[in-house]
């Protein structure tokens, strides 16, 4: 088994895609106005419209209602991401902080309120743990 993507359901695909493009530097691949993907070497963040939910199961997903999942991105320089987002992101949950497990992390909310963590390994153990992912 291989985790391929995480999908976020939203009422405003263009707004959420714009946020993630700016935050990550990735360009979205649009399939339709209701679905886009931001692909990285290790996985894909899919963004789908609420209009796609009935195709799976009516009422099975609600936009802007997540309080349990954190979308995470490994970045080269979390402080540079923070500078890029300052003045643009309205909800910084946690400014860049070095965590006990060795990652320097920045936690924000996307426009739908989903938690997004950008992190850079900074201790030798954390750097080693993510060495393959950084390639």
CATH of the domain at 6: 3.30.720.120
Confidence label for 93 from pLDDT (cuts 50, 70 and 90): very high
pLDDT mean over 114-133: 94
Q: Are residues 128 and 73 in the same domain?
A: yes
pLDDT of residue 112: 96
Asked, for residue 27, whether it belongs to a domain, the answer is: yes
Q: Does 64 map to a domain?
A: no
* Residues paired with residue 29 on neighbouring β-strands, in sequence order: 37
> Which residue carries 């500078």 as its tokens?
83
Q: Do 120 and 77 lie in a common domain?
A: yes
In a domain, 89, yes or no: yes
Q: Which pair of structure tokens corresponds to residue 66?
A: 């997540």
pTM over 0.85: yes
Q: 68-91 burial by CB neighbour count: b if 16+ within 10 A, else e?
A: eeebebbbeebeebbeebeeebee
User: Does residue 134 have a pLDDT over 70?
Assistant: no
Asked if residue 77 is part of any domain, the answer here is yes
Mean per-residue pLDDT over the chain, rounded: 95
**Runs of H (alpha helix) within the chain:** 13-24, 53-56, 78-85, 124-129
Total number of domains in the chain: 2
Same domain, yes or no, for 133 and 91?
Answer: yes
The pLDDT of 48-67, averaged and rounded, is 93
| Span 89-102, average pLDDT | 96
CATH number for the domain harbouring residue 99: 3.10.180.10
pLDDT(135) > 90: no
Tell me: pLDDT of 23 over 90: yes
**What domain range is 116 assigned to?**
69-135
Residue 60 forms part of a structural domain: no
Identify the three-state secondary structure at position 61. coil
């Amino acid at each position: 088994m291989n985790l391929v993507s995480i999908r976020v359901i939203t009422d405003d695909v263009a707004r959420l895609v714009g946020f993630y493009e700016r935050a990550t530097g990735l360009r979205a691949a649009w399939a339709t106005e209701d679905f886009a993907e931001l692909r990285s070497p290790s996985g894909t963040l899919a963004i789908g419209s609420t209009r796609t939910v009935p195709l799976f199961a009516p009422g099975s997903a609600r936009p802007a209602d997540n309080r349990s999942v954190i979308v995470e991105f490994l970045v080269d320089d979390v402080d540079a991401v923070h500078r890029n987002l300052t003045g643009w992101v309205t909800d910084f949950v946690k400014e860049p902080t070095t965590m006990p497990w060795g990652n320097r992390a920045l936690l924000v909310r996307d426009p739908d309120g989903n938690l997004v963590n950008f992190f850079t390994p900074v201790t030798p153990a954390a750097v080693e743990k993510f060495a393959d992912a950084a390639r």
